[in-house]
Amino acid sequence: MSCESTSNTVDVPKAKKYESPPSFSINTETDFSAVFEMENGGKFTVDLYEKLVPITVNNFVFLANDGYYDGTTFHRVIDNFMAQGGDPSGTGSGGPGYTFENEFHVDARHDSAGIISMANKGLVDGKGSNGSQFFITYAATEFLDGYDANGELKDCASDSCHSVFGKVTSGMDVVNTISKRNPNTATKPGDVIKTVIIKSD
């Protein structure tokens, strides 16, 4: 089971599109976190791994600060696996208009619940397909790591590889109550993210 794009028939507004990935602008000596405020009043906080995977964190920070995630939903939510969001189309096939390469670190693993990682379509023409979509795990899913159990980089052309870029540090109870949803059969949108607020220390 992987975290690829899917589709459904829910009507949604047109999303923002960008011509290219954001320029690198974060200070990796600063500690970044993201506060997800849900439309239903729930809230959870994610510690971002700016030192381990700076390009991926920079991308997320840019999109969040630009309001890209405001009003998006958790469109694919599977019990005991993960909750996937970050697609303004709500279908699982949308994105920001650009893609960027995978970014892995041996200390950034899908080793527990609460891990936030990039959803993608695998390698496309030999290149990474990361954009705006992400998922949060409900359990350890180390088969999604970019490194194998021996600390060697996996062949992402044949294996599912996803870039971990943070972990939920508070509000996991809110994550656990995100409504389960199969985007292929659902007729209503998933739970709505009101906004994502980036904080730095």
**Is residue 189 domain-resident?**
yes
**Is residue 26 domain-resident?**
no
Q: What is the DSSP letter of 13?
A: P
CB neighbour list of residue 33: distance below 8 Å, 6 or more residues apart: 45, 46, 47, 48, 169, 198, 199, 200, 201
Per-residue pLDDT tens digits for 12-40: 456 789 999 999 999 999 999 999 999 99
Residues with a known catalytic role = 76, 81, 84, 120, 135, 144, 162
Q: What phi-psi label fits residue 125: left (phi over 0), alpha (psi between -120 and 50 degrees) or beta? A: left
The widest CA-to-CA distance across the chain, in whole angstroms, is 45
Domains contained in the chain, number:
1
**Is residue 13 domain-resident?**
no
**Is residue 10 domain-resident?**
no
Domain that holds residue 170: 32-200
**Is residue 100 domain-resident?**
yes
**Is residue 170 domain-resident?**
yes
Residue type, 121: K
Per-residue pLDDT tens digits for 147-162: 999 999 999 988 899 9
**Is residue 8 domain-resident?**
no
Terminal C-alpha separation, the chain: 36
pTM comes to 0.92
**Is residue 106 domain-resident?**
yes
Domain CATH number, residue 111: 2.40.100.10
